[in-house]
Amino acid sequence: MRVSVFGAGYVGLVTATCLASVGHSVICVDVDRRRIAELSRGEPGFYEPNLRDLMSMCLDDGSLCFSSSPEHAVRNSLVHIVAVGTPSQPDGSADVSQVLAVGNTIGKHLTKFGVVVVKSTVPVGTNERVESAIADGLQEREELVPFAVASNPEFLREGKAVEDFLRPDRVVVGARHKRAFNILEEMYRPITSVHGDFLRMSIRSAELAKYACNSMLATRVSFMNEFAELADTVGADILDVARVMGSDRRIGPHFLNAGVGFGGSCFPKDLKATIHLASSVGRSMSILSSVCQVNDFQHLTLIERAASLLGDLSGKRIAIWGLSFKPETDDIREAPSVSVIRQLLMQGASVKAHDPKVKWLPLLSSMDQSSFSIHEDKLEAVEGSDVLMLITEWNEYRDVDLGVVTALMRTPIVLDGRNVWRDVKHSGRPYTYFGVGRGESLTQHVLPREMVG
């Protein structure tokens, strides 16, 4: 099947590459000519496991190509997938202007029946606006060309996006026309014949389902973080509490990890958009508002802990391990690390950071960076520091020898923001360790949890 994908960002590129890999002929369109040149050389422009290799394979066999010409893409495709950004506006609403602009562009070049698929995360009712935008594009040419619009939200996890696309739990499609359902079911058949169900529903249900899924996952994170605060206060261990909860089949084990909170391009943005959507129709989302408040507070818990141990943080040296909002990605959008670093610098501390993939923080460009640096070597980042804060649970941090690490520090304090390490009896130089929701401090050695018998 001939498919065009509009938008060569994270979702668009993964979608285009994965569809090409299962036998479709895909044209990926972006207005940025430099981006197109980069992609045509096989360079994704961001880190995502397995994407570069899969992309190179599809470029080599001709199933995937990149273009800056929407006319060429539209006229040579049956399915047109819209995968452009919907950033938050100051009031929390989603900015769908790029989505509508692509719809209008498709209408300007449509010459035969096509299915326009909105994969971008959009508020309920946006697909109807896309339909109008396409019709406006056709009207400019005084053409009458049949088309159908469908909602096909993405459920990709950064760091596992290729796997999620090719081995989905489900494929969700909302449409009004049987022909659109049938075409998209055929497009996804190489995938859904092996993994996941193809779920048909109304367009508005599909639009809302995406927001509901992300809202539920974010709620679980903040729920566990609130319980972690309670566990700290009453002397319980949130890891044991989570183990009990996760063994209950009604709850399940996923998203029960307490930590420094969530970030990324989806959860914060989608929660704000959902709250705004509800407000616009006279409804309130009190639970989601609380989820956001808990998350904002959680970003700063390690700083409060450091201040309680060291007093004034001015002049203190803080080491940060992990900058991306989660492991296996270089994405720093809404990352907890950014909030932590900003606050530390504002309080007069100096920060030395390490991350396996993130090598610079443009979000800090407006601040004085003379007190901030990123190091290639994680031990170099720790040397001479007063506190080590683990923010992102990259695997390479799990198996470090904390005895070696703390021996390099001026003050041996470890604040484990993701509960990567468990405690065991110590030998050698003691150090102070705090996890999240672990009860009392442990002035002893700790080991990665998988190394504890």
- The model's pLDDT over 27-46, given as tens digits with 9 standing for 90+, comes to 999 999 999 999 999 999 99
Fold of 299-451: Rossmann fold (3.40.50)
CB contact at 8 A, 149 and 104: no
Rounded distance between C-alpha atoms, residue 35 and residue 8, angstroms: 8
Can 211-296 and 299-451 be said to share one CATH topology?
Answer: no
The helix (H) or strand (E) run that includes residue 78 is: none
293: Cβ contacts below 8 Å, ≥ 6 apart: none
Give Dmax (Cα) for the chain: 81
Rounded distance between C-alpha atoms, residue 257 and residue 239, angstroms: 8
Fold of 211-296: N-(1-d-carboxylethyl)-l-norvaline Dehydrogenase; domain 2 (1.10.1040)
CB contact at 8 A, 359 and 290: no
pLDDT at 427 over 50: no
pLDDT at 234 over 90: yes
In 68-169, the DSSP E strands lie at: 79-82, 114-118, 147-151
Rounded distance between C-alpha atoms, residue 54 and residue 49, angstroms: 10
Tens digit of pLDDT for each residue in 132-143?
999 999 999 888
Q: What is the pLDDT of residue 8?
A: 96
Sequence spans of domains, the chain: 2-200, 211-296, 299-451
Q: What is the pLDDT of residue 372?
A: 92
State mean pLDDT over 108-131: 98
The number of angstroms, rounded, from the C-alpha of 242 to the middle of its chain's C-alpha atoms is 23
The number of angstroms, rounded, from the C-alpha of 278 to the middle of its chain's C-alpha atoms is 23
| Sign (positive or negative) of CA dihedral 98, 101, 103, 109 | negative
Name the CATH superfamily for 2-200: NAD(P)-binding Rossmann-like Domain (3.40.50.720)
Q: What is the pLDDT of residue 431?
A: 86
State mean pLDDT over 402-425: 86
Q: What is the pLDDT of residue 367?
A: 60
Neighbours of 245 (CB within 10 A): 18
Q: Is residue 90 packed enough to be buried (19+ CB in 10 Å), middle (13-18) or exposed (0-12)?
A: exposed
| Max mean pLDDT range (101-115, 396-410, 413-427) | 101-115
State mean pLDDT over 226-238: 94
pLDDT at 452 over 80: no
Tens digit of pLDDT for each residue in 261-318?
999 989 999 999 999 999 999 999 999 999 999 999 999 999 999 999 999 999 999 9
- Give the model's confidence band at 200: pLDDT under 50 very low, under 70 low, under 90 confident, else very high: very high
State mean pLDDT over 1-5: 98
Q: What is the pLDDT of residue 403?
A: 87
Tens digit of pLDDT for each residue in 327-357?
999 999 999 999 999 999 999 999 999 999 9
Residue with tokens 């904390």: 402
**What is the chain's mean pLDDT, rounded?**
93
pLDDT at 448 over 50: no
Please name which of 148, 200, 149 lies closest in space to residue 170, comparing C-alpha atoms.
200
Q: Which residue has better confidence, 22 or 143?
A: 22
State mean pLDDT over 80-84: 98
pLDDT at 444 over 70: no
Tens digit of pLDDT for each residue in 350-409?
999 999 999 887 756 556 668 999 999 999 999 999 999 999 999 999 989 888 899 999
pLDDT at 319 over 50: yes
pTM above 0.85, yes or no: yes
User: Mind telling me the catalytic residues?
Assistant: 266
Tens digit of pLDDT for each residue in 160-192?
999 999 999 999 999 999 999 999 999 999 999
Q: What is the pLDDT of residue 88?
A: 93
